[in-house]
Amino acid sequence: MMESNGKIWLNGSFVDWNQAKIHVLTHALHYATGVFEGIRCYKTVNGPAIFRLSDHMQRLIDSGRIYFMDLGYTRERLERAAIDTVKANGMQECYIRPIAYYGYGKMGVNPMPNKVSVAIAVWKWDEYLKAGSAGGGEEKGARLMISSWTRIDIRAMPMHAKATANYANSALARVEAIKAGFDEAIMLNASGHVVEASAENIFIVKNGTIVTPPTTSGALAGITRDSMLTLAKENEIPVQIRDISRDELYLADEVFLTGTAAEVKPVSEIDNRKIGSGNVGETTKRLRSIFETVVSGKDKKFSKIWLTPVN
């Protein structure tokens, strides 16, 4: 259960956590007409700071735009609301969940007659995708399987939108993986190419180059993915954006996932095949450590560009 004593920002003002309620005939509940974000606030050397806040709020607005959904707030206003919500809850570090959705009014598939609501909640969300230990102190990454579910085709849904509707597909894959004893699922697209995990982007490392699928595969244009690509280039780690086949995963030297909730997560096994040595790879470790330096406010260049102080 989640903690229930905080405040949630709802349509411009704060309400008590337990009072942030919606009607059962809310359009988004029935027809998945919502768009959302996941953002992290980190405890940095200069106090709490939100990672890539503008980029996340811009993606929220863009997601809405794809669905003809006018959020009714500027990006700056949404940024301010996120900062205020972190402050109102006295958080040093947390996960931030903005959501915009069509509300209660008129049922039927067409959402347009309904009002759009916007909410922002924050909570503590530490270990999202557990990485285990092999015993003997060696860190183990996650165990993944290829889902039997195909990732939503870009001809069926606009996958640049981070829409609630996309997550029924993700949940099917995630539940399938968990029931089969794995930590997470990797999804392929209708052409059989690797897309992403149920809620993270995917990277492979082969001969020192990091490779990730293009967003035209159907993968979300992840902000952690973009941060990884930028930080790899900055540190002279070669980068490729291209299609990846299923068997390339098995032969990769390293595999890791990226996402706001999961951060940088090493992968040790896919479909019961060991990836590389089966331990966390050197490039993954290096990139994770660079990422941690940035989000803890200790990187001279990127901490300044990507972190918005709360106070």
Taking contact as CB under 6 A, which single stretch among the options 107-115, 138-146, 221-229, 267-275 is the one that binds ligand PLP? 221-229
Q: Which of 89, 114, 224, 303 binds ligand PLP (CB under 6 A)?
A: 224
Using only C-alpha atoms, what is the Rg of the chain?
20
For the record, the structure tokens of 66 come out as: 């794809």
Q: Which of 162, 274, 300, 301 is catalytic?
A: 162
Strands 142-146 and 184-188: parallel
Identify the residue among 6, 38, 111, 297 touching ligand PLP (CB under 6 A): 38
Q: 156-215: which residues touch ligand PLP (CB under 6 A)?
A: 170, 196, 199-201
Q: In the complex, what is the shortest distance from the CB of residue 55 to ligand PLP, in angstroms, rounded to a whole number?
A: 8
- 162 counts as catalytic: yes
Q: How far is the CB of 102 from ligand PLP (least distance, A)?
A: 20
3-class DSSP state of 15: strand
Q: Nearest distance from residue 133's CB to ligand PLP, in Å?
A: 25
Quick one: which of 207, 27, 51 has its CA closest to 108?
A: 27
Strand partners, 142: 267
Of positions 223, 249, 295, 310, contacts ligand PLP by CB under 6 A: 223
Per rule CB under 6 A, is residue 222 in the interface with ligand PLP? yes
Structure token pair of residue 223: 């902000």
Task: Indicate the SS3 state at residue 211.
Answer: strand
**Pick 7 or 56: Cβ nearer ligand PLP:** 56
Q: What is the DSSP letter of 24?
A: T
Query: What's the rounded Cα separation, in Å, for the pair 195 and 187?
Result: 6
How far is residue 249's CA from residue 145's CA, in Å, rounded to a whole number? 11
| CB 42, CB 303: distance < 8 Å | no
Instruction: Name the one range near ligand PLP by CB under 6 A: 105-113, 217-225, 282-290, 293-301.
Output: 217-225
Binding footprint of ligand PLP on the chain (CB under 6 A): 38, 170, 196, 199-201, 220, 222-225, 258-260
> What are the residue numbers of the active site?
162
